[in-house]
Structure 1
Amino acid sequence: MTVQAVLDQPTSPANDDVTGARTVASVPSESEPLTAAESIDQLVHAAMARWTGGLSPASLALAFADWQLHLAASPGKRLQLALNAVAEGSRFARMVSTPHAAWQPWFMVKPQPGDNRFAGQDWTLPAFNVVAQAFLLGEQWWHSATSGLRGVSKGNSAIVDFTVRQCLDVVAPSNFAFSNPEVLRRAMDSGGGNFVSGWHNWLEDCRDLLSGKPSEPPLFVVGKDVATTKGKVVYRNELIELIQYAPATTDVCPEPVLIVPAWIMKYYILDLSPENSLVRFLVERGFTVFMISWRNPGPADRDLGIEDYRKLGIDAAIDVINQLAPERAIHAAGYCLGGTLLAIAAARLQRERPGCLRSVTLLAAQVDFTDAGELTLFINESQIAFLEDMMRQRGVLETAQMAGAFQLLRSNDVIWSRLVRDYLMGDRAAPSDLMSWNADATRMPYRMHSDYLRKLFLNNDLAEGRYLADWQPMALSDLRAPMFVVGTVRDHVAPWRSVHKIHLLADADIAFVLASGGHSAGIVAPPSEEGHSYQLLEKKADQPYVGPDEWLRKAVNRDGSWWLEWVRFLTAYSGTWEPAKTSLHAPQSGPPLDDAPGQYVLQH
C-alpha cells in the first residue's frame, strides 16, 4: 500500500454519532477558523498554561470547592477530624515523653509500603524518628480529611487528596539537611564536602536547563550502545520507519513478529543494551522480528490523529510484512499506547481480514480506562479543553510537560529523592540505558493527544463500543486471536487491574501475566537478570470470568522472567520452522533504506 493510498482512506469525523450514542465533542483542526471570542479565550488559556504547567486552574478550583463546601456542611466529619487530631496529639505527647531506654521506633505510625524516604537505619534514632512520625501522622490526618467525605464526587476527592499529598511531599523532613540524619551523617563523614558537590551538581543542572541541552554527551548513544540489534529499515513513510531485524538462527519461526511501541517515547525501550534487549532475545530464539519506529512529530503534524497513527503505522506495517512474507499470519505485540492502538487495529482486522493475526500480545497496555490510576485525576472536560487551547497554539504537547506529568505520579521516587541525592548528598545516580531512554522523550501531535484523552480516557469509547475506525464502530469482542497480556505490579501508568479488564472485553483465549516491577522495568526483564518474578494464569474464551482478586489467588507465583513464557506462547501458536532467509527485503519492494536503528529514532 502506498503512503498516498493510506492518506486517501476516509476518516470519520470525531462527532459522527454512528452508533446512536452521545455525540463526542469534536477537536477543532487548524483549518477550522475560530471566532473572535474563541481566539481570545484560546490565547488566554495558552498564556496561563505556561505558568501552570498545563494544569487547568478551573479544574483544580472546582475540585477544592466541591470538597470545601461538603466539608463545611458536614459538622460530624469536622468533629471526627478534630477528635482524631486531639487523640493522636495526646498519643504523640506520651511517645515523646517516653524514656530513651524504653524507646520503640515507629511506635505510632510506619511509612506506607513503597515509601522509602525514611528507610535508612538513621531514621530510627529517637530525635529523627519523632520528626518522621509527626510528618506521617499529619499526612495520615490530611488523607482522612480529603477522602471519605459523603457527597463529594469520586474524581474531585481524588484530585484534592493528590494535590494535598503533593504539597505535603514538598515539606517532608527527608527533603531538608537539618532534619535528614543521612545528610547530616554524610556531612560529618565528608567534612561538608557533600554540600560542595551538591552545589556543583546544581550549577550543572542550571546550565543544562538554560542551554536546553546536556553539558556532557550521553553515555548511551543510540545505534552504538543501545538499539544495536542488526537490521534494516525496509519501509518508510511520513510517520514510521519499519525495521526488520537480521535472523540469528539457521531456522526461524514462519510467522513474523511485529512490535508496536508507544510513540510517547522512542522505540528502543524494547532494544536497549544487548544484554536486556527484547528484540535480540527474540531473534536469538528464531523469530523474525519487525519493529515500528515512530517519527518525532513537530508543529506541522498538529492534525495527525489516532486514526492516522493506525493507518500510517500498524496498517502500513502489516501491508509491508505481507509483501515480505506473503500468506503468513503475524504475531503482533504492542507496548503501552502502542498496545491500545494494536487492539483497535486487531479488532478491525478481525472483521476485514480474519486470520491476518496469529496472536496478539499487549504489554502494559489498557483498553478500558475507567480505572486507569492517578493519570485520570485531571482528565475532565475542563482540563482537556485547557490542554487543547495550549496545544492548538503550539501544535504539539512538548516533551517537558509530558515528562512532568509522569514524574508527579511518583514524585517521592522521581523528584524529591533525586533532589536529596544530587544536591544534599552530593551524589549522582549511576547512568543506565533505561534512564537514558527515559530522557529521550518525544512530542505528541495536538489532534492525536486530544483524541486520546477525549475518546479513550474521558469517554472510554473503545471499551464501550463507540470508537470509530473508518466510519465503523469498533468492538473489542471482535478480538478472537489468542492473546498474551502482561501487567506489572507497580505500574503507575497502566495499573495491572486496569490491564486485566481485557478479560471482560475480548472473546479470545488469554494468557495473563502479572510481572514484578513497574511500567518500564517490569517489561524490560531479561532472564539474565536476577530478582524478576511473575504470576501466570491462562483462560479459555469459553471459561467463566476470573476477577483480579480471584486471579491473584489462583495464579502461580514463579521466579524468573516472563520473556520465556512469551516465547513458549509464540511457539505454541506457530507453524513448522523453516530455513532463515538471508535477504531482508522482497525484490518488488526495493533495497533496504538504512541500517537499523534508522533515522527517525535520532530525531529530537
Structure 2
Amino acid sequence: MSQVTGNEEQAVVSLSTPDGTATKCAGGPYDGWAELFLRPTRAAVATLTGGLAPSSLGEAFADWATHLALFPGSQMHIVAETVREFMSLAGGEWRTAASAGAPKPQAGPPTREHRFDDPSWEAWPFDLIRQSFLHSERWWDEAACDILGVTAQHRAIMRFSIHRILDMLAPSNFVATNPVLQHRIIETQGKCLVDGVATLIEDWLRSLAGERPAGAECYRPGADVAITPGKVVYRNDLIELIQYAPTTQAVRPEPLLIVPAWILKYYVLDLSLENSLVRWLVGQGQTVFMISWRNVGEGGRTLDLEDYRRLGIMASLDAITAITGGNRVHATGYCLGGTLLAIAAAAMARDGDDRFASMTLFAAQTDFSEPGEVGLFIDAAQLDFLETMARARGYLDSAQMSGAFQALRSNELVWPYFVRDYLMGARGPMSDLQAWHSDATRLPFAAHSQYLHSLALANDLAEGRYEVDGRPIPLENIHVPVFAVGAESDYVAPWRSVYKIHRLMGTEVTFLLTTGGHDDGIVSEPGHPDRFYRLLARPADADGVDPETWMARTSSEAGSWWPAWAAWLDLHSSPPGVPPPLGGSGVNAGTLGNAPGSYVLES
C-alpha cells in the first residue's frame, strides 16, 4: 500500500505474483541489461496487440492443431461436418430453385444477430452468400470445440479468436457482398463512400491528436451532463465527494453513498435530465453522496486497492457522518466500485464498524471463478502482458480496456458502426452514454496489477484470502441486507457471475436481473422502452438456488427496476426527516465548489 498524506505520495509496490508478494530470481551480471531491453520490447508488443499475449493465443492454437493432426477421429469428424454443412446448404438452394417460395433450412444465426435483418438479404445471390457465411460459422464452431483432447480453456480461446476473424470477414462488411450497402451507393450516386472516407479521416486525425470522437463535445460535464445541483463537500488527493441538493421537504435519515468504478467517470449515473439516476433518487427523498475519482497520471502509479478503499470509501464515510450527524449509511457500488465496496464492507464487519445500513451492488463481481468470455484471457502469461502495458507508463488507459471489451462483441460494437459510418456515410448522432464512454480515465499500475493478480486470477476475495491491514476479510462477515443487480447482456460482469454473491454471504440477499448490458442495463430510467426485470429475495441463512432455478421461480416485470430498488431502500430506512444542510453545520461546515467538481474535468 502506498502512503499518501496531503499532496505527497511515497511508496514502493512490487506485485509480481498472485498474492502480491515480490519475487526476485538470482541471475548473472548481465541480467540488468537484459531487463533494460526486455521491458520496452514487451511494452511495444503489448501495445501492438492491444494487450493480448501472443503466448496465450499460440498455446491454444498449438494444442488445437496438434490434436487435430494426431487423431484420425478428429479429422473424420471435421470431414463429416464439412459434408453435412455442404449438403444442408446445397439442399436448401436446390429446393428453392425447384419450387419458388419453398422453405429452406436456415443455418441458425447467433443470438442477437442483426447483420442480415434487411429483406434485401433474401434475394439471390445474397441469400446464398448469407447462408454460406452462417454455415461456415457453425462449421468453425464444430472445428474449434469438438476436437478431442484439447483443453476446455484452449477450445474457448480458439472459438473466440475464430469468431473475431469471422466477424471481420462477414459479407455485411464489404461492398461486393452487402446488398443494403449497394442500394445505398446507388441512391447517393456514390456520395456515401465519399462521406464515409471524410468521416474516417476525421476520426483518424482526432485519434492522433488525442481528441474525443465527433459529437462528444455536445455532452460536457457540468453543462450538458452531470448537472444535478450539488456541492463538493470533501476533497483529498484521490477523490472529491459530492453532496446533492435535496428537492423534497423530507428525506430518509440514512444517506446514500455511491461508489462508482474508476475505470470511467462517475457521471454515467448522472447523465442527462431524463436518465440521471442521481436526480431521480434525490426526487425520491434520498440524500445522495457521490465519489468522483481523480484521473491519476504517472505520479499515481503506486496507488493500490487499499488506497482506494482508505482514501475513497472510508474517507467518504467519515465526511458523511460528520455532515449528516448520523451513523448509518446506505452504500452502493457500481462495477469495480462495487467490488471495492464489498472489500470495505467485509473489513468494517470484521472490525466492528457498523456504519453501513445496507449494501447495493450494480453489475459488480465478488467471485471471479466464472467471469465469462473475459476469463478466456485471465492466465499468468496474459496478466503479465497486461501488466507490462501499465508498468511502462505507470497506468493503464481505460481506452485500451474499452477496446478489449468491444472486441468481445465485435459483431455488435465494432463492425456495424464501421459499415454505417465509413461505408454508408450515415453516422448517427452521439448519445450521452456514448459520449461518456469516450471520456477515458487511467488506472494506476499498482491497483491494476493487484486487481488482476489477487482478484481476477487468484480469486482471493471469494476464497477468503484477501487481506486488509494484514488480516483476511471473509465476505461471510457481512450481515447487512444486500441488493445485487445483474444485467442479462452484460459481458463485462456476466449476471451468473454476479449471482454468485448468494453463496458468499449468509445475510439477506435480494437479486434483481434487468435487461440490457453493463451500462444501459443500469441506466434504465422509468419510461425507457422495452425494459424488463426479475426480482427475488433470499432471507438470511436460507438455502440458495442455482441461477437456472432462480430464473424459473421469478416472473418478468415490465418497466424500469429503479422503483423496485427505491422501495427496497425505503424498507431498510428510518422515517423521513429534515434534510441535512449541504456541507453540514458547525465550525467545520462548508463546501468546496459546485458539482460536478474539478476532478471529473481532468483529462
Identity %: 45
User: Counterparts of 2:138 and 2:110 in 1: how far apart (Å)?
Assistant: 10
- The 8 Å contact of residues 27 and 447 in structure 1, kept in 2 or not, is answered as no
Provide the secondary structure at the position in 2 that maps to 1:511: strand
Provide the secondary structure at the position in 1 that maps to 2:463: coil
Matches within 5 A, 1:130-529: 130-214=128-212, 218-529=217-528
- The 8 Å contact of residues 350 and 356 in structure 1, kept in 2 or not, is answered as no
- The 8 Å contact of residues 6 and 312 in structure 1, kept in 2 or not, is answered as no
> Structure 1: which 5+ residue stretches go unaligned?
17-21, 29-33
1:105 is displaced (CA, Å) by 6.5
1:284 is displaced (CA, Å) by 0.6
Counterpart amino acid of residue 4 in structure 1: T
1:120 is displaced (CA, Å) by 1.5
Counterpart amino acid of residue 211 in structure 1: A
Distance 1:141 1:212, change over 3 A: same
Q: Tell me what 1:4 maps to.
A: 5
Q: Tell me what 2:534 maps to.
A: 535
> Do structure 1's residue 81 and structure 2's residue 78 form an aligned pair?
yes
Residues 93-139 of structure 1, C-alpha deviations (whole Å, 9 max, x = no match): 23333344434566231211211111112112232111011011111
Counterpart amino acid of residue 192 in structure 2: N
Provide the secondary structure at the position in 2 that maps to 1:347: helix
Q: Tell me what 1:40 maps to.
A: 37
Distance 1:89 1:386, change over 3 A: same
Residues 367-396 of structure 1, C-alpha deviations (whole Å, 9 max, x = no match): 001111111111111111122223212111
- The 8 Å contact of residues 12 and 470 in structure 1, kept in 2 or not, is answered as no
User: Counterparts of 1:278 and 1:108 in 2: how far apart (Å)?
Assistant: 43
1:416 is displaced (CA, Å) by 0.3
Report the TM-score, using the length of structure 2 for normalisation.
Answer: 0.94
- The 8 Å contact of residues 511 and 537 in structure 1, kept in 2 or not, is answered as yes
Match 1:98 to one of 86, 95, 118: 95
User: Counterparts of 2:358 and 2:333 in 1: how far apart (Å)?
Assistant: 11
Q: Tell me what 2:48 maps to.
A: 51
> Structure 2: which 5+ residue stretches go unaligned?
25-30
Q: Tell me what 1:31 maps to.
A: none
- The 8 Å contact of residues 338 and 364 in structure 2, kept in 1 or not, is answered as yes
Provide the secondary structure at the position in 1 that maps to 2:556: strand
Provide the secondary structure at the position in 1 that maps to 2:263: coil
- The 8 Å contact of residues 105 and 124 in structure 1, kept in 2 or not, is answered as no
Distance 1:9 1:255, change over 3 A: farther
Counterpart amino acid of residue 82 in structure 1: V
Distance 1:199 1:71, change over 3 A: same
- The 8 Å contact of residues 15 and 449 in structure 2, kept in 1 or not, is answered as no
Counterpart amino acid of residue 555 in structure 1: T
- The 8 Å contact of residues 331 and 360 in structure 1, kept in 2 or not, is answered as yes
Residues 196-241 of structure 1, C-alpha deviations (whole Å, 9 max, x = no match): 2212212211221222214666111111110000001111111110
- The 8 Å contact of residues 259 and 334 in structure 1, kept in 2 or not, is answered as yes
Counterpart amino acid of residue 177 in structure 1: V
- The 8 Å contact of residues 233 and 241 in structure 2, kept in 1 or not, is answered as yes
Greater mean deviation of Cα atoms: 287-296 or 122-131: 122-131
- The 8 Å contact of residues 146 and 161 in structure 1, kept in 2 or not, is answered as yes
Aligned residues: 593
User: Counterparts of 1:8 and 1:435 in 2: how far apart (Å)?
Assistant: 34
Counterpart amino acid of residue 85 in structure 2: E
Counterpart amino acid of residue 316 in structure 1: A
Provide the secondary structure at the position in 2 that maps to 1:332: strand
1:6 is displaced (CA, Å) by 12
Distance 1:9 1:54, change over 3 A: closer
Provide the secondary structure at the position in 1 that maps to 2:194: helix
User: Counterparts of 2:477 and 2:487 in 1: how far apart (Å)?
Assistant: 25
Q: Tell me what 1:117 maps to.
A: 115
Counterpart amino acid of residue 83 in structure 1: A
1:25 is displaced (CA, Å) by 5.2
Q: Tell me what 2:595 maps to.
A: 596
1:81 is displaced (CA, Å) by 1.0
Distance 1:67 1:312, change over 3 A: same
Report the TM-score, using the length of structure 1 for normalisation.
Answer: 0.94
- The 8 Å contact of residues 361 and 483 in structure 2, kept in 1 or not, is answered as yes
